[in-house]
Structure 1
Amino acid sequence: MDSLDFAKLHADCETSHRFMVIYRIYSRSWDEAKTTAWNIAIEQSVECPYCMVEGTTIADTIVGKIEQLSPDGPEHYLAVISYTPEAVGAEFTEFINMLFGNSSLQKGVRLIAFCLPDEMNHTFPGPRFGQEGIRQLTGIHQGPILMSAIKPLGTPVSRLARMVYDLACGGCSIIKDDHNLFNQTYAPFEERVRACVEAVNAAYEDSGNRALYVANCNGDGEESIQRAWKAR
């Protein structure tokens, strides 16, 4: 996108108490794009037929509002939709859900950018480390940072560790457990984490490539916290 689009978005945010989101919509006509944008505004906010809230305070405040809809090349449109901060509160996960929840499942819809008013910038100041922090950790100061997952489910620890070693030697900077690797008998959590960390260190010694290994610490209840401490 042209940086002018972002500049205008920020300017609009400065004069509004709502946060703005840009979606790119694939559509064959402006009317069709408008219908899609309206469906996004409904789905990302109240998530029910509009007739259920029409004429109420919810319709006036909570429902997303289409602020702008403009062409963006052949069969594509940019929709700027605003939402009220009150619908998000101080819940970051709800903020992400409202940006691109169920609409992420719709074909031909892409989240492009968002802009927050000052009140939300104080609530959500941004990542602790950010892009520069990740670059410092990986030692990749320019260009793309490569990331991959080790898989598939059912692979023993020794083979998973070998994948980590090969990926790190090959220049992959971030290597993560696949999301379905937990504490299965063929790849127990502690054994897997220890072996993969050793593989990352061995790859650094052999190739000079510094990589990060990210363990999947998900678990039932407090088990996820305990696994995170073990991994650390």
Structure 2
Amino acid sequence: MSAPSSRDDSVEADYLIETPLDLERVADTIAGEQSSGTFVRVANESDALRARSRASVLRIEELEPVPHASLPSAWLTRQRVNGPFRRARVTLSFPVANIGANLPTLAATLAGNLYDLGEVTGMRLQSVRVPRAYRERFDLPEHGVAGTRRLTGVVEGPMVGTIIKPNVGLSAQETAQLVRTLCEAGIDFIKDDEVCANPEHAPIAERVPAVMREVRAFRERTGKRVMIAFNITDDMDAMRRHAELVEREEGDCVMASINWCGFSAIQALRRATPLALHAHRNGFGMMSRDASLGIGFQAYQTLWRLAGVDHMHVHGLAGKFAQSDTEVTESARDCATPLADGLDDRVLPAFSSGQWAGTVPATFDAIGTSDLLFMSGGGVLAHPDGPAAGVRSVRQAWDAAQSRTPLHDYAAHAPELRAALAFFGPRT
């Protein structure tokens, strides 16, 4: 699958807008606000300047109106403007020359003051397309899908992972003991939880060496590599120090809560470390759950991929969070789609949130590939026969899905899968 192309000198963005006003006028207002204009034409805003620098309205596709405003607008109230409220998909084109290879400014251009415009009662950035030459000015994934396979030694099939549970409270040594258990259980990938970064009871300075001693010992004993995504979310100086520690201890991966670190910090981290960057999107729901406000995942992941991350969270099918299976599926496919033709900058979609053996068939049917990271926290660590049985149950479920065998039929000869189905419930 390839991404739709954009003009070489512009970035294109698709929006869903809602307004009681004329759609063409509002679209033109948005284009001006996000480039060279304001609410009126001003001195020095020459025709030549507008031709060179002003954003353009490429398309307007009107949708069904709604009787009530999705969002309040004091400006419209002052104007005594009421509904009906018209909706449309609008495509804008922004000159690259206005922005340069500047990720925070690109984000401010695509998703800045337009959310505050009084003319709109709904505004959502849906998708973004960048030309290849512009994409190449930003950081690429250091590892992506192929590199993560090399680092984990998983040549084919899904990379099976889990999350440290309990997510907080374990000491550095207790965490290391759990990691040893999970390594011996046959796991490929282990990550910290997003709320466990550098706690006093298990500081990174102690936790990383303790965990990596176990990982190295397991690798020397068995030849199998296990990737640990250490949560190094912090200020920029601290994240650099933490990444350097992980690298010294022969680790492969670090994780950051990208929304709270920001584009500049993640770009700086990418340039400071050769480690795989596991991008945790916690907080994304705040930006995306309202259908009339915020940002869609395609646009969101485009911006973060320009920062050079290697893995992106997409949640999971039939999981514990609010996203629909359709949204999760589309998110995973977005991660697997190059941002520009002829360039392999795919990132590894990371499935999590309530995932276990029973959610595997739906995942494989929806995605149609095993180029993914399938993480089960409780699905591994809460298996009634222990973590090793939990890992085997997930692998058995993937074997069943890839051979198109119903889970219950496969479970007749797979005791770990059979126990998982009985314990976690019939979510097949």
Which TM bucket (shorter chain)?
0.5 to 0.7
Q: Aligned equivalents of 1:59 and 1:160: distance in 2?
A: 59
Residue of structure 2 in register with 1:86 after alignment: 97
Secondary structure in structure 2 of the residue aligned to 1:181 = coil
Q: Is the 8 A contact 1:150 1:178 kept in 2?
A: no
Q: Aligned equivalents of 1:39 and 1:149: distance in 2?
A: 49
Q: Aligned equivalents of 1:206 and 1:198: distance in 2?
A: 12
Q: Aligned equivalents of 2:176 and 2:89: distance in 1?
A: 45
Aligned positions, number: 218
Residue of structure 1 in register with 2:403 after alignment: none
Q: Does 1:20 align with 2:12?
A: yes
Q: Once the two structures are aligned, what percentage of the paired residues are identical? A: 19
Give the residue type in structure 1 aligned to 2:205: E
Q: Is the 8 A contact 2:176 2:210 kept in 1?
A: yes
Residues 31-83 of structure 1: per-residue CA shift (max 9 Å, x gap) = 77995x6787577x46xx9316767368666564332234799x996543222
Q: Aligned equivalents of 2:241 and 2:111: distance in 1?
A: 31
Distance verdict in 2 for CA 1:114–1:188, change over 3 Å: same
Q: Aligned equivalents of 1:52 and 1:125: distance in 2?
A: 38
Secondary structure in structure 2 of the residue aligned to 1:66 = strand
Distance verdict in 2 for CA 1:201–1:111, change over 3 Å: farther
CA drift of 1:148 comes to: 4.9
CA drift of 1:186 comes to: 0.9
Secondary structure in structure 1 of the residue aligned to 2:201 = coil
Higher deviation after alignment, 132-141 or 51-60: 51-60
Q: Is the 8 A contact 2:162 2:187 kept in 1?
A: no
Q: Aligned equivalents of 1:42 and 1:180: distance in 2?
A: 43
Residue of structure 2 in register with 1:132 after alignment: 146
Secondary structure in structure 2 of the residue aligned to 1:90 = coil
Q: Aligned equivalents of 2:57 and 2:169: distance in 1?
A: 47
Q: Does 1:65 align with 2:51?
A: no
Distance verdict in 2 for CA 1:146–1:190, change over 3 Å: same
CA drift of 1:181 comes to: 1.4
Residue of structure 2 in register with 1:50 after alignment: 38
- Looking at CA atoms only, which structure, 1 or 2, has the larger radius of gyration? 2
CA drift of 1:96 comes to: 4.8
Residue of structure 1 in register with 2:246 after alignment: 231
Q: Does 1:178 align with 2:172?
A: no
Q: Does 1:189 align with 2:204?
A: yes
Of 131, 152, 161 in structure 2, the residue corresponding to residue 116 of structure 1 is 131
Higher deviation after alignment, 121-130 or 56-65: 56-65
Task: Flag structure 1 segments of 5+ consecutive residues without an equivalent.
Answer: none
Q: Aligned equivalents of 1:149 and 1:28: distance in 2?
A: 46
Q: Aligned equivalents of 1:229 and 1:98: distance in 2?
A: 34
Q: Aligned equivalents of 1:103 and 1:163: distance in 2?
A: 48
Normalization by structure 2: what TM-score?
0.37
Q: Aligned equivalents of 1:140 and 1:117: distance in 2?
A: 29
Q: Is the 8 A contact 1:164 1:175 kept in 2?
A: no
Give the residue type in structure 2 aligned to 1:50: T
Q: Aligned equivalents of 1:185 and 1:69: distance in 2?
A: 54
Q: Tell me how large the CA RMSD over aligned residues is.
A: 5.2
Q: Aligned equivalents of 1:68 and 1:97: distance in 2?
A: 21
Residues 173-211 of structure 1: per-residue CA shift (max 9 Å, x gap) = 3524526612x3211111111233345557778999754
Give the residue type in structure 2 aligned to 1:193: V
Distance verdict in 2 for CA 1:151–1:112, change over 3 Å: farther
Distance verdict in 2 for CA 1:54–1:26, change over 3 Å: same
Task: Flag structure 2 segments of 5+ consecutive residues without an equivalent.
Answer: 67-86, 116-120, 248-428
Q: Aligned equivalents of 2:220 and 2:38: distance in 1?
A: 60
Q: Aligned equivalents of 1:78 and 1:227: distance in 2?
A: 44
Distance verdict in 2 for CA 1:100–1:150, change over 3 Å: farther
Give the residue type in structure 1 aligned to 2:98: A
Residue of structure 1 in register with 2:229 after alignment: 214
Distance verdict in 2 for CA 1:82–1:132, change over 3 Å: farther
Q: Aligned equivalents of 1:201 and 1:103: distance in 2?
A: 51
Secondary structure in structure 2 of the residue aligned to 1:178 = coil
